[in-house]
Amino acid sequence: MRIDPKIRREKMVKEQVEARGVSDPAVLDAMKRVPRHLFVEEALAARAYDDNSLPIGEGQTISQPFIVGFMTELLQISPEHKILEIGTGSGYQAAVLAELGADVYTIERIKKLFMRTRKLLFEMRYFNIRVKLDDGTTGWPDEGPFDRIIVTAGGPEVPQSLIDQLADPGRMIIPVGSEKRKQRLILVIKANGEVIEEDMGGCAFVDLVGKQGW
Ligand code: SAH
């Protein structure tokens, strides 16, 4: 018997996200609204609410639900924020950010994913998300500064362009590591002209490929 996606979503949020410490009601509600099964290939739709990342083609992945909730909560998003995401992929993370009412600018470097996701987000009427095909490690200079920046691929360092395009005050969350598929989640906080970095724990993202990435 097919289980209603809304029920699967509520169970996913409760058991995988809330149970592990994400408590911001706005983030939990946003994740309950986004139909994650529409962001994966049809053959994988039955597994869309599982407790792991899933392939989305081109060697890339849609992030695990918990990590999406954890990173989103760390950003402390308000509806008036302008947000930059590097690594559009399936568009799922961008949709969660858009559900929080913010304006989302998202960059993907693989054309096939960019084309597919731009179409999907348009069909889903996420008109507050703009998608660009480019190397996101240099940011989106014409649109900066951004109140919040989220990078959903892992590189060897925090790209200087992204620090420069972060507003003051601003917050950025980014996986960083000298080994591939094994990074630390770094929270970059800019305030009063100063930039500090906090280590929020281990994670495993696909490669951030580009000028200021691998
Ligand atoms: N946020 C995505 C996660 C996708 S995986 C989601 O919710 O599905 C990370 C994505 O980052 C991949 O699609 C990969 O192609 C992309 N990527 C890697 N390096 C990039 C770069 N320099 N600029 C933009 N996108 C990049």
21: domain CATH number? 3.40.50.150
213 occurs within a structural domain: no
Q: Is the CB of 71 under 6 A from ligand 1?
A: no
Residue 157 lies in a domain: yes
Residue 152 lies in a domain: yes
Along the 214 residues of the chain, how does pLDDT read in single tens digits?
Answer: 467 899 999 999 999 999 999 999 999 999 999 999 999 999 999 999 999 999 999 999 999 999 999 999 999 999 999 999 999 999 999 999 999 999 999 999 999 999 999 999 999 999 999 999 999 999 999 999 999 999 999 999 999 999 999 999 999 999 999 998 899 999 999 999 999 999 999 999 999 999 999 9
pLDDT for the residue numbered 7: 95
Task: Name residue 177's amino acid.
Answer: G
State how far the Cα of 148 lies from the Cα of 164, in Å rounded to an integer: 12
pTM: 0.97
What pLDDT score does 3 carry? 77
Inside any domain, residue 50: yes
Domain count, the chain: 1
Q: Answer yes or no: is 214 within a domain.
A: no
- With tokens 């507003």, the residue in question is 167
The token pair that represents 59 in the structure block: 């060697």
Range of the domain at 47: 5-203
Residue of the CA atom closest to atom 2 of ligand 1: 89
Nearest residue to 67 (alpha-carbon basis) of 143, 12, 149: 12
Ligand 1, atom 26: nearest CA belongs to which residue?
A: 87
CA of 109 to the centre of ligand 1 (A): 7
Exposed, middle or buried by CB within 10 Å (0-12, 13-18, 19+), for 43? exposed
145 found inside a domain: yes
* 181 vs 84: CA distance, rounded Å: 22
Q: What is the pLDDT of residue 137?
A: 98
Task: Kindly state if the Cβ of 208 falls inside 6 Å of ligand 1.
Answer: yes
Ligand 1 proximity of 147 Cβ (cutoff 6 Å): no
Residue 210 maps to a domain: no
The pLDDT of residue 154 is 97
Q: Residue 84: inside a domain, yes or no?
A: yes
